[in-house]
Structure 1
Amino acid sequence: MSSKRGRSVTAAIFIFFALSCLNSISTTQVGDSDEMSDPDTFCISDQYIMQSYFTTQSSLNDSEFRNFLLLHHQCPENIPSEDVPVVAMLQHRDITGEGSHRHLLTSIKLRPFHSHELVIVERLPLGVFADPFELQSLQQRSAFRDVSVFGDTDLEQPSFRSNRSVVEIHVEINGSGEISVKLPLHARYQPIGENGYSRVEFGEPDLFLCSRHVLNKGQEQRRCLVLSIGRSKTQTRSVVWEIPAGIRSHTEYVSVITFVAAVLSALSILVASVLSSKVESCKITKQL
């Protein structure tokens, strides 16, 4: 009996120490996660954030984008950080316009900052694209401070042969801190479906607050604060563009009609050429 009692006491002591160790480990992990919850920052020397990404990546990968910025672009110690509270809220987001040319409207409320600019990264879904020449024209008219398109910029490719593209917009922060951006978008040719429409859904944009360039070892760099990144779906409401597409059940009818129209066109051209040659021969005969 005494041996069994001793074994039970030993087991109870062992369980007590095990629970204590697990508690200390979980406390340490919570402390580390609290430290990670601080605002994330990174430093870049390129003109655009996406320019740094696409120098090493051939296509956009949403899961790798955040890690690429925060792990590969850590800020040097001599670039000062600004410990200021940041208040940014996505107020409104919608698709406006008609037809295959629309505008993606985004309204953001941001606390005013001096010597800073807001960088908006729109990771466009498959099926839509932004015209770089049109955006450059808007930049020249001071709609944006700076703008550029990365990724698949081939405007002629249909949706099923294209890759995603990214638009990076730089906006000067005004005194009120309220910013509205209207991004012109165009629909690509959609694949054939069952209901005649292709559903394209937009996620939330990535938002960064970037300072002016700071000289670091002969190279200009600037610190960017991550306001929002990595959300594939908008938290306000879904922003959807239903783009017209061909209906699969109509392909046979379209093929038959196209074939008949091509045959009739060829016959009409042949008849017209024969009649024209006869008229010319009659004129020559009369002259003789």
Structure 2
Amino acid sequence: MPTWRCIQLFIYFLAWASLICSPTSSSLADSISSPVHAKPFSPVNKFLMQSYYDRYINLHDLDFEKFMSQEVPYGSCDNLNFVLRLSDLKRTLIGEGSHRTVSTLIQLKTQPSKSFSELLSNSCKFMIIERLPSGVFADPFELQHLVQRGKFSDIAVFGDTNLELPSFLSNRSAVEIHLLVDPNILQEPTDINMELPLHARYQPLNGSGYSAIEFGAPDMVVRCSTKEKMENHNCFFKLEKDDANLYGAHIVWRIPSGIKAHAGLVSAVTFIAALLSTIAIVVASLYQPWCF
């Protein structure tokens, strides 16, 4: 019986080793990571951030602002005399600890245009881009569940989607959220509510035991398709927010982290516990019958 037991353990070990060594299939997080070779802006891409990562490797604010101001063709539908402006933006953090939700209330004010609804298709996409600060990430799998539940029409995470990396080893990421809206609604004052679940990465040690992570205001663009068959049938409208009322647009998340002064004590306790466990395993193995 001991021999048969050892053979079973050996078979289990081989199965475990084969799983570890075999190449893993690409995950959802990998599938939404963008390429790094540069290409011109293409309105055919479903996501604006996909076009950004076609040109840039990492997310930097200066590169992104340059991309949004120079690459996105906002004047592609000059025949539409339509201006979309932000009236109010209210942002709050919900929850405590390392798993929280960013709640955003967007209030729009518009300049009515008779030709707006006549020339556009039945729906437009309200696109919200959250540039996440370093040390915070969004779980792509969790966000896809929100799409399935009808919270968003589409959503994707771009940039560093490795959920296991600590803050000091990770790069920034961005979340692009799509909401379907009726063009007629955009001609009236409109409120849009959104909640985005986020998670904190492991933070470096410091003296206070907390790391302060600041969020900026999201970037918002409306993308509509025209009813006419044109070569470029996409119209982009930038959300102007120069005179908007911003309430908590720059929110701060205090993420728990280890206290540097306690690092030595924790290391000593961990070492002693590991040493005692090793000794206990060795002593216990001396009293077990050998396999062969």
Q: Give the structure-1-normalised TM-score.
A: 0.72
List per-residue Cα deviations over 1:203-242 (Å, max 9, x = no partner): 000011221267543xx54121111589xxx942341111
Q: 2: CA distance between counterparts of 1:228 and 1:245?
A: 38
Partners of 2:251 and 2:272 lie apart in 1 by 42
Q: Does 2:93 correspond to 1:95?
A: yes
| Superposition deviation, residue 125 in structure 1 | 0.2
Match for residue 150 of structure 2?
142
**Counterpart secondary structure, 1:98:** coil
Structure 2 unaligned spans of 5+: 1-40, 111-115, 118-122
* Counterpart contact for 1:43–1:75, Cα < 8 Å: no
Aligned to 1:46: 45
- Per the alignment, in what secondary structure is the counterpart of residue 66 of structure 1? helix
The amino acid across from 1:92 in the alignment is K
The question of whether the paired residues in 2 share the 8 Å contact of 1:44 and 1:221 is answered with no
Which of 257, 262, 286 aligns to 1:274? It is 286
Q: In structure 1, what is the equivalent of residue 218 of structure 2?
A: 205
C-alpha RMSD of the superposition? 2.7
Aligned to 1:82: 80
Shift of residue 111, structure 1, vs aligned partner: 4.1
Q: Which amino acid aligns with 2:247?
A: T
Q: 1:81 to 1:161 in 2, by over 3 A?
A: farther
Q: Does the 8 Å contact 1:173/1:179 carry over to 2?
A: no
CA positional deviation for 1:264: 0.9
Flag the structure with more relative contact order, 1 or 2, with Cα contacts below 8 A and sequence separation at least 6.
Answer: 2
Aligned to 2:105: 107
Larger radius of gyration: 1
1:251 aligned to which of 250, 263, 273: 263
Q: d(CA) in 2 for partners of 1:242 and 1:75?
A: 37
Paired residues, what number? 231
Q: Hey, what's the Cα distance between the residues in 1 that align with 2:98 and 2:240?
A: 29
SS, match of residue 170 in structure 1? strand
Measure the CA separation in 2 of the matches of 1:265 and 1:164: 39
Cα separation, partners in 2 of 1:43 and 1:274, compared to 1, 3 Å: closer
What CA distance in whole angstroms lies between the structure 2 residues aligned with 1:205 and 1:138?
A: 19
Which of 221, 236, 240 aligns to 2:247? It is 236
Do the aligned residues in 2 keep the contact of 1:43 with 1:224 (CA within 8 Å)?
A: no
Q: TM-score, normalised by structure 2?
A: 0.71
